[in-house]
Every structure is written in structure tokens, then in C-alpha cells.
Amino acid sequence: MIVADKKPIEEIIGYVQDANRILILGCNECVTVCEAGGKKEVGVLASALRMHFLQQGREVKVDERTLERQCDHEYLEEIRDIADQYDAIVSLACGVGIQFTAEKYHSRPVYPGVDTCFLGVTEERGVWTERCQACGKCVLAETGAVCPVSRCAKRLLNGPCGGSTNGKCELNPELPCAWQLIIDRLTALNRLDEYEKLMPIKDWSTDRAGGPRKVVREDVQS
Amino acid sequence: MRLSYPSDIKIIRVPCTGKVDVLHLLHSIEKGADGVCVVGCLEGDCRFKSGNLKARKRVEQAQKILDTIGIGGERVAMYNLSSGEGPLFAQYAREMHEKILSLGPNPIKAHRKKAA
């Protein structure tokens, strides 16, 4: 999932300071799972903003709405009839949802309510870690399903480097060395001989090096 | 025991303090409560293992938010006691009551009246 973190309330207050009608727009997908932008977080932010403005002597209308997703036209259309009522929309979706909302409601200012962090997993409640950088050319088949692009600080394709000590990365003693994980995994799979093969130079044009990316699937297009 | 505690404290019963969410605390203040205290079992004695520990974290979150928006986090508090400690409950109730009296009424109420 896409992992996001809550933005400080004071930062959001700064964005919407002059607005009189604000819509807090949550998303029921990834940001709900990582507890940054779901229905509950929408309620907390809306309540905090209402109290903040009342404290300043202003009764600002702060409404709450949470969509199934903000990255699909059909769900974003659900606010078509009400979007014009607001001076500002604060989207608690990931950066994708925030931008798509802004594209769809061009005349309304849309502000981010979260900081979008990475593609990751829930290690335990309240702890999320990165697993994928969406490089566009997956190498997991060769690495025992441990990603060196997202989990190695140097993105090494033939590791580990000299900074790997006792299975940890030199960047942080708590950070596992991705290449140690790959070796451990290949050993467990009895495929360590594959570690001997050098990985060829990766085609980074499918990563950000090729600019903004696009996937077109004619087989599913209508 | 027939212990007395300030009569303007309203008790809302929940199955476990773990049920209390940040949203409940914020909505209470937004709707005009002068203060909210969450009274849970002693830490380590939760029947549901960690309900009171979760409640404490949520109280701390609410305090942080209330501090940020200028209402004051001290209007929300967490206390722990066992169900057999009636006198301590009365003492905590009086403590909270005195704290709220010293803080004065919830500023939201006055501003809402002005705005209306």
C-alpha cells in the first residue's frame, strides 16, 4: 500500500487560514490502513479546525467526507455537486489522490493533509516500512523476492557493499542489509548458486529517469 | 461509601477505556465540555490487556491537538485506579474539578455564543 503520515495540524491551518468553507476529504484505501487519512482522521482534523477557528472568533464551516478512493474518476464524481460550496479542500489521500482531486475540481484550491512517504507494509500497528520503489522493471525473481532497489540504501544490484556489518546497513544499525536478506533467503531456498550470477545493468528508463510514467493496457481499455 | 464528589461531573460509562477514542475527547470539548478525564483501571490490570494503555496514548494525542489549536491540553486528563478505590475516585474527581475551575470555562462555548 501507499504509506502516508499525518501532517502537523498547524501546517494545515496555515493553508486554510483564510477559508470560510472547508471540505476535509478522506480516502478509504491505503491512508485508512496506515491511519493517516481515513474517516477517523478526517473527523479528528475537522474537529480540531472547527475549534481552532471558533477560538479565533470565526465560525468556519468544516465538513467531512470520505470517499472510497480518490484515484478513480467514479468515486471523485461523488463530490461533484458539493465541491463548489467550498473555498478549500484538504485531501487526506496520498499525493495521487490529492492531485487527482485538484485536476478534477480545477477551480477549487486543494491542499495536502498528509505527507506521502512510500510503498510499504505494516510491520505492526504503527510501524510501516518500505518495500517497493515502483522502478517499473521488477527484479524480485532474481533476488529471492527481496528488493535491492527499495531496501538497499545504494540500490545495489550486485551486493552487498563493504558497509554491511553483521547483517545490518552502515546507514543505521537497525536497518537490515538488503543483500544479507537476499543471501539468507536464497540460502533458505537452496538457490544460493544464483547469487553467483552477475545481474546486468538495469534499465532505469522505466524508473523516474524516464520522466513521469504511463501504463497503457489496450486489452482492458473500453 | 456515600462519598461525595463535585455534582457537575457527568459520568459516561464505557466497557473499557480502550473504547475511548481521540475523536470522543475532541468532540466533547468541541460540544462545550470544560474538561474530560478518562478514568481507567490500573496499568497492568486491564481486563482486556491494554485498553487503559491505549486510552492513555489517545489522551496524550488529544492533549497535543488541543495545545496546538490553543484550547489547552490540560483540559483532558487520564487517571488510573482500581474498582475498589472509591475514595481515590472521589479525590481524582475533585482534583479534575479544581483544575478545570482554575482554567475557567471552555473558550469554545463563549466564542460559539458570540458567533451565533
Q: Which member of B22, B115, B116 has the closest CB to residue A44?
A: B22
Interval A180-207: pLDDT, tens: 999 999 999 999 999 999 999 999 999 9
In this prediction the pTM is 0.94
Segment A125-152 mean pLDDT: 97
Dihedral-angle region of residue B11 (phi above 0 means left; psi in -120 to 50 means alpha; beta otherwise): beta
Segment B66-92 mean pLDDT: 95
CA distance B45 to chain A (A): 22
Q: Is residue A221 part of a domain?
A: no
Tell whether A137 and A112 lie within a shared domain: no
Q: Could you tell me which of A66, A63, A86 has the C-alpha nearest to residue A76?
A: A66
> Do B5 and B81 touch, CB atoms closer than 8 A?
no
Tell whether A86 and A164 lie within a shared domain: no
Tell whether A158 and A183 lie within a shared domain: yes
Q: Which three cell numbers stand for residue A13?
A: 491551518
Q: Which member of B23, B29, B68 has the closest CB to residue A10?
A: B68
| Amino acid letter, residue A42 | V
- State how far Cα A167 lies from the chain centre: 28
Cβ-Cβ pairs closer than 8 A, A with B, add up to 50
Partner-chain contact B115 A59, CB within 8 Å: yes
Partner-chain contact B21 A40, CB within 8 Å: yes
Segment A165-193 mean pLDDT: 97
Residue B115 pLDDT exceeds 80: no
Q: What are the structural domain ranges in chain B? A: 17-109
Establish how many alpha carbons lie within 13 A of residue A195's alpha carbon, considering only the half-sphere containing its beta carbon: 21
Interface residue ranges in chain A relative to chain B, Cβ cutoff 8 Å: 8-10, 13, 40, 43-44, 47-52, 54-59
Instruction: Grade residue B26 by pLDDT with cuts at 50, 70 and 90.
Output: very high
Tell whether A97 and A150 lie within a shared domain: no
Total domains in the fold of chain A = 2
CA distance B62 to chain A (A): 9
Strand order, beta sheet including A114-124: A2-6, A114-124, A127-132
Q: Is residue A53 part of a domain?
A: yes
- Residues of chain A with C-beta less than 8 angstroms from the C-beta of B26: 44, 47-48, 51
Q: Is residue A219 part of a domain?
A: no
CA distance A36 to chain B (A): 14
Tell whether A87 and A187 lie within a shared domain: no
Tell whether A113 and A137 lie within a shared domain: no
Segment A200-222 mean pLDDT: 93
- Residues of chain B with C-beta less than 8 angstroms from the C-beta of A56: 111
**What is this model's ipTM?**
0.93
> Do A89 and A12 touch, CB atoms closer than 8 A?
no
- Residues of chain B with C-beta less than 8 angstroms from the C-beta of A51: 26, 29-30, 66, 69, 71, 108
Boundary of a domain, candidates A83, A118, A153: A118
Q: Is residue A216 part of a domain?
A: no
What CATH number is given to the structural domain containing A83?
Answer: 3.40.50.2300
Residue A39 pLDDT exceeds 80: yes
Boundary of a domain, candidates A57, A91, A118: A118
Tell whether A144 and A102 lie within a shared domain: no
- Would you tell me how many other CB atoms lie within 10 Å of the CB of residue B91? 15
What is the biggest distance separating any 2 CA atoms in chain B, rounded to whole angstroms?
A: 47
Q: What is the pairing mode between strands A2-6 and A114-124? A: antiparallel
- Residues of chain B with C-beta less than 8 angstroms from the C-beta of A49: 69
> Do A44 and B23 touch, CB atoms closer than 8 A?
yes
Q: What is the dihedral of CA A76, A79, A85, A90, to 10 degrees?
A: -50
Tell whether A75 and A138 lie within a shared domain: no
For residue A31, the SS3 value is helix
Instruction: Grade residue A1 by pLDDT with cuts at 50, 70 and 90.
Output: very high
Average pLDDT taken over every residue of chain A = 97
- Percentage of the residues of chain B whose pLDDT score is greater than 70: 98
Boundary of a domain, candidates A118, A144, A167: A118
Tell whether A82 and A139 lie within a shared domain: no
Segment A39-65 mean pLDDT: 96
Residue A110 pLDDT exceeds 90: yes
CA distance B48 to B15: 10
Instruction: Grade residue B116 by pLDDT with cuts at 50, 70 and 90.
Output: low
Q: Is residue A213 part of a domain?
A: no
Quick one: pLDDT at residue B19? Answer: 96
DSSP letter string, chain B = ------TTPPP---S-GGG--HHHHHHHHHTT-S-EEEEEPPTT--TTSSHHHHHHHHHHHHHHHHHHTTS-GGGEEEEE--TT-HHHHHHHHHHHHHHHHHH-S-HHHHHHHHH-
What range defines the domain where residue A50 resides?
A: 2-118
Q: Could you tell me which of A4, A190, A209 has the C-alpha nearest to residue A94?
A: A4
Q: Which three cell numbers stand for residue A53?
A: 477557528
Q: Which three cell numbers stand for residue A184?
A: 539468507
